Chains A and B, each alone.
Chain A
């Protein structure tokens, strides 16, 4: 069974802190990887794709380790508005493959 595992949290951090989320996936043939953000009672929104060489978008950095089947998301200088649930998502194959979602990690940023 294809699985994506995440620490559910919550992670409680003060504003300005750096926080890291981890995710593992079971299917070694997985092709593509993403982080989505989901606010309470809202739809998931794409935060960033994760590339093999690692990638950065402002305060957010994503890393992929294919050998360990491990994905990470680092958030620097946390803002109150970063409070949300972060979903680790894996695409199993190229083309019109389906996505497998982790259950999400909740982040709470406090003043």
Chain B
């Protein structure tokens, strides 16, 4: 089975807690991305990584952190500093020569 996996599918967090969302891919793509989507909104870029051990902030990085220790993995931590973390989180992958990005099934995070 190949592709992009995200876990968990649903995640509930209490206020003040940090949580980590997993994204794994076996497509051998170099670039990986994290987006959040709020109801009725487009995808907004949180962080992206073009190569192992390197990553850049996207448009809404505050309150989030990432790591890229392996090509296959790009976990996202939602910290307690993120004021409104309830959203649908999508992990994308893509790379040269492909322009397109492909997405995992997403994690739906709810803050209780």
Contacts and interface: CB of A to CB of B under 8 A. Distances in A.
Contacts of A42: 105-106
B100 A102 contact: no
A46 B102 contact: yes
Interface of B: 30-31, 33, 35, 40-45, 48, 50, 58, 88, 90, 92, 95-96, 99-106, 108
Contacts, number: 49
A43 B96 contact: no
B48 A98 contact: yes
Interface residues of A, number: 22
A11 to B, nearest CB: 16
Interface string A27-42: 0000110100000011
B43 A44 contact: yes
Indicate the member of B40, B43, B92, B104 with the most A CB atoms within 10 Å. Answer: B43
Interface in A96-111: 96, 98-99, 101-104
The 4 closest A-B pairs by CB, nearest first: A101-B42, A43-B103, A101-B43, A103-B42
